[in-house]
Amino acid sequence: MPIQKVTKNEIIAKALNVFSNKGYHNTSMSDLAAEVGLLKGSFYHYFISKEELMVQILESIDYELKSNVYPLAFHKQYPASKRMKLFLKGLSKVVIHKNGGCILGNTILETANLYPSFRHLLTTIMDGIVQSFANIYQELYSQEQSQILAQQTLMELEGAIMFSKLYSNPSIFQDFQKRMIQRVETDS
């Protein structure tokens, strides 16, 4: 009976971290194998290729967001500001890695034009995030306006993470979060 040193999910979680920190092309299969304590050859028992690994990482992100994060934006009894706060927190936990930035933004910029298999997943995820933001905004704005604001919010989020990375200053992203929460606060 062969021993199993790791599970696919463990690999996905660790590989996500490595990719976030080093980028797709700058991460080697050796790096990934080392991170999970396997040898390079063993790695291919779990994922047939580097590309397939990234696909499954993105799929797991999609699943995680759908299961645990999007619902935070749809909590009917919470006010918009609370939903915004919880949603941003949940989103950050899944998708943002300290110093490494946002796996989505990183992967879009580095690979969107190269791997159609990535692009489809990335659009699905980005759409999901936008719709969640839009739902929050609809407490205060028209549907059309909410849609626009939602997209802007995600854009600014990605930009804020980029700035945080460039200046090695996490408070840039924290300020962004505060701004977004305030925007939907109705201090009546």
185: left (phi over 0), alpha (psi -120 to 50) or beta: beta
Q: How far is the CB of 166 from a second copy (least distance, A)?
A: 5
Question: What are the E-state strand segments in 7-89?
Answer: none
Assess 116 for contact with DNA (CB under 7 A).
Answer: no
Does position 4 interact with DNA (CB under 7 A)? The reply is: yes
Residue 48 touching a second copy (CB under 8 A):
no
Q: Does 167 bind a second copy (CB under 8 A)?
A: yes
Give Cα separations from 108 to 11, 121, 126, 166 (angstroms).
21, 10, 10, 18
Please tell me whether residue 157 binds a second copy under the rule CB under 8 A.
yes
Region of 45-53, 149-157, 158-166, 178-186 interacting with DNA (CB under 7 A):
45-53
What string marks each residue from 97 to 136 as x (binds a second copy by CB under 8 A) or -?
Answer: --xxx---xx-xxxxxxx----x--xx--x----------
Q: How far is CA 75 from each of CA 41, 43, 60, 178, rounded to the nearest angstrom?
A: 46, 40, 23, 20
Instruction: Name which position in 9, 13, 45, 74 contacts DNA (CB under 7 A).
Output: 45
* C-beta of residue 153 within 8 angstroms of C-beta of residue 133: yes
51 lies in the site for DNA, by CB under 7 A: yes
Q: How far apart are CA 164 and CA 98, in angstroms?
A: 10
